[in-house]
Structure 1
Amino acid sequence: MAAFILMAGSAAMSETTLKILSFEELDGWAEDDHEAARQVFLNTCIDFDEPDWQVLCGAATGIKDARNFFELLFRPVLIEDGAPGLFTGYFEPELDGARRPGGPYRYPVYKMPPEARNVTRWLTRREIETSGVMSGRGLEIAWIDDPVELFFLQIQGSGRIRLQDGSHIRVGYGGANGHPYRSIGVELVRRGIYSAHQVSAQVIKNWVRRNPTDGPELLRHNDSFVFFRTVNRVSPEKGPLGAMNRSITTMRSVAVDPKFTPLGAPVWLEKDGEIPLRRLMIAQDTGSAIKGAQRADVFFGTGEEAGRAAGRLKDEGRMIVLFPIQRAYAMLPEPVL
């Protein structure tokens, strides 16, 4: 179908194009496991407030043909804002730690101090780590044996801490200091240490560990600092909590920009590269670096293997959002007379 220019009042959407597609135009649609996507959709659709989404959530319960459900009640909508599609991966780290400091466990995972909640922008990463402002206040959730892994835990925003007795502490995003995220990989490229195609999470980790003086200074280039909270209500076998405060699902949950894609909506992802994907996922999370109509972050699961796979994903492609039929057509602007 023809593309339309959205005329919504939001500045973020003012130059965005919208195109309603048919399901036949979705490459690989017929071969996907639509039932797996339906189960993930049910996990968060109960939180929808809008009546049309609520109706679809009710209809999704107890059906026998998941593909038929999506095809009958949704329409695929391609939303573009002029930027090419970019799809990356994220995961839930698993770190070794202890409830109390001692031995190698010297690096604290902090709760957010009350005064940081009351300001738009608090201390920088450097100031938090070097001023002693956090000491002696009981803000430590646990202690980690590796400051580099702790830094990447903050980038991911959630994770599990594996204790010496085999138990775990699950932590989730608890707030931030209000400073914008500054990419360590981009800084390494700017300094001429690596070229852009060489940079990955593992490359950054290795460089920081090889440089005991310059490495910590590189991490402090990123002024942003993330605080955590303990997540007790999620069982270990389930995924971490996403932005909808529900567990997310490996390779079926995706982080999106909610300015363009409603949280809880089904999204169809098409990309090639080392990890080709043609898959129906559910938009259940967000991220500070996930900005734009065609920007998405695929959840790869928990642990080191998931982290390696997620770190390899950086490809172009396209993402199509599935909207309730009436909502999809209502998004089209009125014709200009």
Structure 2
Amino acid sequence: MVHHTIATSTTSASKASSKISPMKFRLLRLVTTALIVGTLVACSTRPPAPTDAPAATTAPPPPPFATVPAAPAAAVPGTLAQPKSRWVPVSWDELPGFEQDSTTEAWNAWIKNCERPAPAFAPLCGDVRRLSIGTPDEQRAWMRARLQPYRVEAPGGNADGLLTAYYEPYLDAARVPGNGYTVPLYRPPATLGARKPWYTRQQIESSPEAQAQLAGRVIGWVRDPVEAMVLHIQGSGRLRMLESDGTTSLVRVAFAGTNDQPYMSVGRWLLDQGLVRDATWPGIRAWTLQNPGRVNEMLWANPRYVFFREEPLGALDAGFGPKGAQGVALTPGRSIAVDRQSIPYGTPVWLASTGPTTQLQRLVMAQDTGSAILGAVRADYFTGWGPEAGDIAGRLKQALRLWVLWPR
């Protein structure tokens, strides 16, 4: 997945979260149409999933961190640390909203964790699966008994951080170009690894040499070059594909690599050129409509280009997002991307974030990463797919606190 800047539109789709207030959004549902909404949050292409997790141990090992050396007059007994964060043990009462969260909504994400569990959590997966039909009170009681909450802080002790969001665009596409479908989505070229960095976005779209190396690599065609770039930015998407025989199928395109060129924000380019004062999506979209002859110039300001692989999207897959860096499918509203040097993949996390219109207090799972998701208290919240998911992802940028829940 990728998330750096901007995005555009289409139609209606899944809801992003069930407990965002005061907006009071409904639970995410699978749908058939979409809207791509942009964000100026700088994020980046998500890497391929790692190899299989190590075999489960018979008992949870201690967290893979060293105990923080005693600090003068300030050390909290049991504080743990890793390169970019320290974990301070706290009581369950410190977690805001813990008694109110519908934890059953998070259990699907936890069961996904158990497909590739971190060694410390593998022994808990039998209980996790049994509790999938438990009540929130039963699930909370089990967590209190088996897990210890730790407040996540920067090494210097700052517990305040930043929450942003990302989502999965949903576009109409066609196997055969024509009838408005003119923008290709490519599989990686055979020469991608032999030349680093590979051609820039501008060269890929205009150089005969680059075009020759991409011959036969098209997955499908979309209508709008800006929407295609948004798909590159988010790193994964859903396509309602018009097949060559006239039938329609639903497929996912997942991240398969980049041209190894640097990412540049087109919103930042517009601001730096003095072309807009408003680099939100409405401002960017208004500029593209008023300046159609300069759209390529804007897009080419970002030399990074993303290549995809096609994945089937069956009924069982359609209710989940793409696979994150942990190697498991993301759950809308319950999966986050983190800095893995602060929080290991597969860790349950209590998230609390409040902004002008959005309040989130909920159990989530650390299942993904992004090269711009850096720091101790930093998370990117997966909102799902469709217009509401895109709307939330486009505007969510607010204060954050995190607590990891680690086996006792």
| Counterpart selection for 1:269 from 334, 351, 354 | 351
Equivalent residue, structure 1, for 2:170: 94
Worse overlay, 286-295 or 261-270: 286-295
Equivalent residue, structure 2, for 1:72: 145
Write the distance in 1 (CA, Å) between the matches of 2:313 and 2:248.
18
Q: 1:239: how far off?
A: 2.5
Q: 1:108: how far off?
A: 0.2
- What does 1:1-337 align with in structure 2 at a 5 Å threshold? 2=75, 12-13=83-84, 16-50=85-119, 52-63=120-131, 64=134, 65-81=138-154, 84-132=160-208, 133-135=210-212, 137-164=215-242, 165-195=247-277, 198-232=278-312, 234=314, 235-273=317-355, 274-325=357-408
Distance change (3 Å), C-alpha of 1:313 and 1:288: same
Write the distance in 2 (CA, Å) between the matches of 1:69 and 1:202.
46
Does the Cα contact within 8 Å between 2:116 and 2:327 map onto a contact in 1?
Answer: no
Does the Cα contact within 8 Å between 1:151 and 1:219 map onto a contact in 2?
Answer: yes
Distance change (3 Å), C-alpha of 1:3 and 1:233: farther
Number of matched residues? 317
Deviation by residue 1:179-229 (Cα, 9 ceiling, x = unmatched): 23222222333334445xx43334333423432233221222112111100
Give the AA of the match of 1:316: A
Q: 1:266: how far off?
A: 1.0
Distance change (3 Å), C-alpha of 1:168 and 1:7: closer
Does the Cα contact within 8 Å between 1:181 and 1:224 map onto a contact in 2?
Answer: yes
Larger relative contact order (Cα-Cα within 8 Å, sequence gap ≥ 6): 2
CA-based RMSD of the aligned residues comes to 2.3
Does the Cα contact within 8 Å between 1:239 and 1:301 map onto a contact in 2?
Answer: yes
Gaps spanning 5+ residues in structure 2: where? Answer: 1-73
Write the distance in 2 (CA, Å) between the matches of 1:2 and 1:43.
36
Specify the SS of the correspondent of 2:99. Answer: helix
Give the AA of the match of 2:404: V
Worse overlay, 180-189 or 154-163: 180-189
Q: 1:3: how far off?
A: 5.3
Q: How does the TM-score come out when normalised to structure 2?
A: 0.72
Worse overlay, 202-211 or 227-236: 202-211
Write the distance in 2 (CA, Å) between the matches of 1:3 and 1:152.
45
Write the distance in 2 (CA, Å) between the matches of 1:193 and 1:6.
48
Write the distance in 1 (CA, Å) between the matches of 2:399 and 2:388.
23
Query: What is the percent sequence identity of the aligned residues?
Result: 39
Distance change (3 Å), C-alpha of 1:28 and 1:299: same
Distance change (3 Å), C-alpha of 1:137 and 1:150: same
Worse overlay, 125-134 or 74-83: 74-83
Specify the SS of the correspondent of 1:167. Answer: strand
Q: 1:47: how far off?
A: 0.9
Worse overlay, 61-70 or 107-116: 61-70
Worse overlay, 234-243 or 276-285: 234-243
Write the distance in 2 (CA, Å) between the matches of 1:75 and 1:6.
12
Q: Tell me which protein shows more helix as a share of its residues.
A: 1
Write the distance in 1 (CA, Å) between the matches of 2:270 and 2:89.
41
Gaps spanning 5+ residues in structure 1: where? Answer: 326-337
